[in-house]
Structures are given as C-alpha cells and as structure tokens.
C-alpha cells in the first residue's frame, strides 16, 4: 500500500505524544480518503473559504508564511496568490517531471506561478521588496543548517526531535523585523519571530490533536535525520 510503512513508522514515533494527550491516532484509510478528497477539490473545484481573513491586509506588506501538510495545503497557496498577496512559495520538485510541470501550471494565478524558485542569495532582496516567502514547514531536512542558525532550526514536534528548513531563520538573521505568519486554509495568525518554530510547532500540534486525520505529514518522512 502507498507509503504504508512510512505511515506506520510515524505512528510508532509519535505514539507517546498522543497517549499523553489522550487522543487516538488516525487510521491509514481515513487519512488517505481525506487526502484524495482535498486533491480532488484542488484539481477540479477550488472551493472558497467561508470567511474572509482580515490578516491578509497585514500580509500584503510581505513577510514569511509557514504552512503545513494540513488540510488542503495546495489550495491554500493558490488562495493566497489569488488574493493578490506578493507570494513566492518554496516547494520541492516532484517526480515524474511531467507531473511537476502540471502541478506548476496549477500553481499559476493570472499568468504568474507563485512557486518559482528563488536562490537563497536572492531571498533577502525579495523580502526587501515586500515579498511574502512561503513554505510547507513540516518537512524533514537532512542537511545540517549553518552553525550560526542551527539552534533555531532544531526542535521537537509531536514529541520527536526534528530538523527544520533553515530559510526562514536565514531571512530573520539578516532581517530580524520580518513578520512571521503561520496558517492553513481556514486560519492564519501572526507568531513571534523569536523562537518562531516553537510557536509554529505548538500551533500545528494543536491542529493535529483536533483532527489527526487531516494532517498528511503522516505520509512523509518527517522524523529522524
């Protein structure tokens, strides 16, 4: 079955966290069904959020937005770009190549792809021009970050040690006043720039405990490095 071994390993690693919280871990089938439904909505329907998000006006000035494999994360990026935000999101290249090309077309709004690659050396310039840098921040990062920001990129998530994407910490090292947001399709909020990954993980853990079957990180090798 598709990624069943990864799913099972993640359940084993996070079991103590869920037992302490008194929450039942999800079953493979229910998570997969939710994922397929969200994929269908992204490809064919693009449903709109029920309520407007006032914080979008604050985000028009730029910053960092951290999201996760929670709910319809692909549709979330599309909606931010559709709202006119200066978004450029970091994404991993997918295989096979034709699927990645198709996905990039789906990530295009008004003729502009909101996931065009930005080289790290150009990130600060992008932020200085009022850009909004986005990334799915619950992905495993194998390569150690630079020593100067290493402590900011390692922490605990669902009771397991994790290493996080260094790009937000890199931006904040050079532009410490950059606002940081986190959110998904139904909710966005601003979080402190100091220890931002601690606040991000706390936010995401609460979401997952509310509905563990809506987090699709179960299918990713999030833990261990």
User: Quick one: average pLDDT of 128-148?
Assistant: 92
Q: How far are the Cα atoms of 50, 81, 90 from residue 57, in angstroms, in the given order?
A: 18, 13, 22
pLDDT of 80: 92
Q: Name 168's Cβ contacts closer than 8 Å, sequence gap at least 6.
A: 64, 66, 133, 135, 137, 180, 196, 197
pTM for the predicted model, two decimal places: 0.92
pLDDT of 52: 57
Q: How far are the Cα atoms of 3, 137, 170, 199 from residue 192, in angstroms, in the given order?
A: 35, 16, 16, 7
Number of DSSP helices (H) and strands (E) in the chain, helices first? 8, 9
Q: Which two tokens stand for residue 84?
A: 């006119």
Q: Percentage of the chain surpassing pLDDT 70?
A: 96
Q: pLDDT tens digit string along 87-131?
A: 999 988 888 988 889 889 989 998 999 999 888 889 999 999 999
């Amino acid at each position: 079955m598709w990624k069943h071994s990864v799913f099972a390993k993640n359940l084993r690693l996070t079991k103590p966290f869920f037992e302490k919280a008194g929450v039942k871990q999800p079953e493979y089938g229910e998570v997969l069904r939710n994922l397929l439904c969200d994929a269908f909505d992204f490809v064919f329907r693009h449903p709109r959020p029920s309520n407007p998000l006032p914080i979008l006006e604050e985000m028009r000035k730029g910053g960092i937005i951290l999201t996760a494999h929670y709910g319809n994360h692909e549709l979330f990026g599309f909606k931010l770009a559709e709202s006119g935000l200066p978004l450029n999101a970091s994404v991993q290249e997918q295989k096979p190549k034709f699927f990645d090309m198709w996905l990039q077309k789906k990530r295009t709004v008004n003729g502009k792809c909101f996931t065009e690659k930005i080289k790290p050396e150009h990130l600060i310039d992008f932020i200085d021009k009022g850009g909004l840098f986005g990334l799915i921040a619950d992905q495993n990062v194998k390569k150690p970050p630079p020593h100067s920001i290493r402590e900011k990129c390692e922490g605990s998530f669902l009771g397991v040690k994790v290493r996080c994407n260094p790009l937000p910490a890199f931006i904040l090292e050079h532009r410490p006043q950059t606002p940081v947001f986190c959110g998904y399709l139904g909710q966005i909020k601003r979080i402190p720039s100091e220890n931002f990954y601690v606040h991000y993980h706390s936010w995401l853990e609460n979401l997952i405990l509310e509905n563990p079957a809506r987090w699709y990180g179960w299918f990713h090798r999030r833990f261990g490095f």
